[in-house]
Amino acid sequence: MIDKPATHEATDSSTFDRKVDAIDSLDNDAGKASKSGSARFALFLAVLALLFTLIGIAAGYKHWQRMNDRARNNAADIAELRKQLQETPARDSLDKLQKELEDKTTQSHADNAQMQQEMARMLNQTRQFADTVASQMEQITFCRQRRNKTPPRPAQRNGGWRKSSSCCNWPTVPCILDRTRVLRLWR
């Protein structure tokens, strides 16, 4: 390593003599400039790599925070949907209720149709009854008019009933003499 012979004498002193040229080959100026430029470039690359690493870590952390927030929001949404799912009735029960409703509606329509037929039958009977009563009243009125023209018989003087007469064509329906008995007859 040392190309030159030593020009000093060895002594035990701790101070170095300035005349020693042993390290001169390491201290030349041309090598110093090139080594400091490459060292500076290496230092620049190291700092640049550190900077990119820090930027990457910051971006990754920010991305992780966003994903963590999304995961929390999605977990809360899932919990809410599970709660709603438990609160809402199952599809089978809805189908069952709909079928029951359809059956009840069909039964109600059938009952209503039957009641309408019954009401129509009752209306028809009531009309027939009203027509019968009206015709009977006409016949009673006709009998009264005829009776007023003829002298009264002994049974009519007491307010009794006549079972049949020439004016009434029904043997079982009596001719009524006064109005109170007509009302009592239909009650």
Task: Give per-residue pLDDT as tens, 33-84.
Answer: 557 889 999 999 999 999 999 999 999 999 999 999 999 999 999 999 999 8
Top-confidence residue, 99 or 94: 99
Domain boundaries along the sequence of the chain: 29-89, 120-187
**pLDDT band of 172, cuts 50, 70, 90:** very low
For 178, residues 6+ apart whose C-beta sits below 8 A from its C-beta are 159
Give me the helices (H) in 20-151, please.
29-87, 91-149
The residue to which tokens 């359809």 are assigned: 102
- State which of 10-19, 97-106, 142-151, 157-166 shows the largest mean pLDDT: 97-106
Q: How confident is the model at residue 174 (pLDDT cuts 50, 70, 90)?
A: very low
* Residue range 19-37: mean pLDDT, rounded: 55
**Residue pointed to by tokens 């809360």:** 76
Q: Please state, rounded to an integer, the average pLDDT across all residues of the chain.
A: 76
Q: What is the mean pLDDT of residues 140-162?
A: 69
Structure tokens that stand for 153 in this block = 């018989």
Q: Residue 55 half-sphere exposure, CB side, CA atoms within 13 Å?
A: 6
Total-model pTM: 0.32
pLDDT (tens digit per residue) in 97-119? 899 999 999 999 999 999 999 99
Q: Say what the alpha-carbon torsion angle 82, 83, 87, 89 is, to the nearest 10 degrees.
A: 0
Contacts of 22 by beta carbon, 8 Å cutoff, 6+ apart: 2, 4, 6
Asked if 7 and 21 touch (Cβ cutoff 8 Å), the reply is: yes
* 156 CB-contact burial (10 Å; exposed 0-12 / middle 13-18 / buried 19+): middle
Give the number of other Cβ atoms within 10 Å of residue 59's Cβ.
10
